[in-house]
Amino acid sequence: MRNETSNTHAQNASNSDAELTRRGIRRRRTGRKRIIAAGALAAAGLLVGTGFTVQSAVATQARIDATAALNATSGLRSEQLGAYSAIAAAKAIDTAEDTITAANATLAAADGKADTSGLAASVASLSDYRSIPVDEVLDLTKVTRAEAAKTAAAAAAYDQAQAEAAAAAAADLASRNTPDGARAFAADLAASQYGWGSDQFQCLDKLWQKESGWSYTAYNASSGATGIPQSLPGSKMATAGADWETNAATQVTWGLGYIKSAYGTPCSAWSHSQSVNWY
């Protein structure tokens, strides 16, 4: 019994020692955790106190990474920049040459129609494109193109005005080439240039109605007399204008001059025509 009791006591003592050991280990672990937590809290307090945050640290690192990546490719970028510069210079020269060619064509087309001095000066400046800086070539090319556009617009406006004038002249010619148009022109010219009033015009109207019916295309096949005044030959009327064959006004102008020099007035010419059937 004593041995069993002793063994029991010994076992209990051993168990007590083991329990004390486990408690000590737990205390030490808990102490370490508290120290770590206290350190973390202290660090957090330091971060808050200095204004430095996790977000700012991440942003800073991102900028560092981007700068590192840029630095890593800087050598390649420098080489590419040189190639790009050569390409840009060649392109600027080609563009300048094309611009000069087009500008010279504009100068030729606008000659006598518009002021081309500005464009000519721009072309002269750009002609040195092989010896001046690329930036200057680009600027001069831009200026030359603008001058070419302005000159072309001025030349187009001139052409338009000429076309409108030609159309108006054609319309006026068509109007005067009718019998009534020829009469109206003759009445105005007789009064303004010779001072002949309506009485003289009545004689003129009868005279040329008899001769040609006031038709600028009238032609006497037997004598060769031509036009409203029946000029013989018709080519005499060229002294009044090269368009004597197609323009009634030219024929009227010549015919009034002829009457003035040969008979003095239309009524005298009409009297002669009535007497001998010609004038």
How many Å is the Cα radius of gyration of the chain?
A: 56
**8-24 tens-digit pLDDT:** 444 444 444 445 445 55
pLDDT surpasses 90 at 65: no
**Alpha carbons 111 and 152: distance in angstroms, whole number:** 10
| Interacting residues of 189 by C-beta distance below 8 A, sequence separation 6+ | 252, 253, 256
**178-217 tens-digit pLDDT:** 999 999 999 999 999 999 999 999 999 999 999 999 999 9
Extract the tokens encoding 82.
């040189």
- Helices vs. strands in the chain: H and E counts, helices first: 8, 0
Q: Which amino acid is it at 87?
A: I
**69-88 tens-digit pLDDT:** 545 555 546 566 567 788 88
DSSP code for 219: B
pLDDT surpasses 80 at 27: no
Where are the chain's structural domains?
Answer: 81-174, 179-276
Instruction: Kindly write down the DSSP assignment for every residue of 44-93, as one continuous string.
Output: HHHHHHHT--HHHHHHHHHHHHHHHHHHHHHHHHHHHHHHHHHHHHHHHH
pLDDT surpasses 80 at 4: no
**Alpha carbons 201 and 207: distance in angstroms, whole number:** 10
pTM of full prediction above 0.85: no
Q: Which amino acid is it at 106?
A: T
CA 128 to centroid of chain Cα atoms: 25
Extract the tokens encoding 144.
């030359």
248, 216 Cβ separation under 8 angstroms: yes
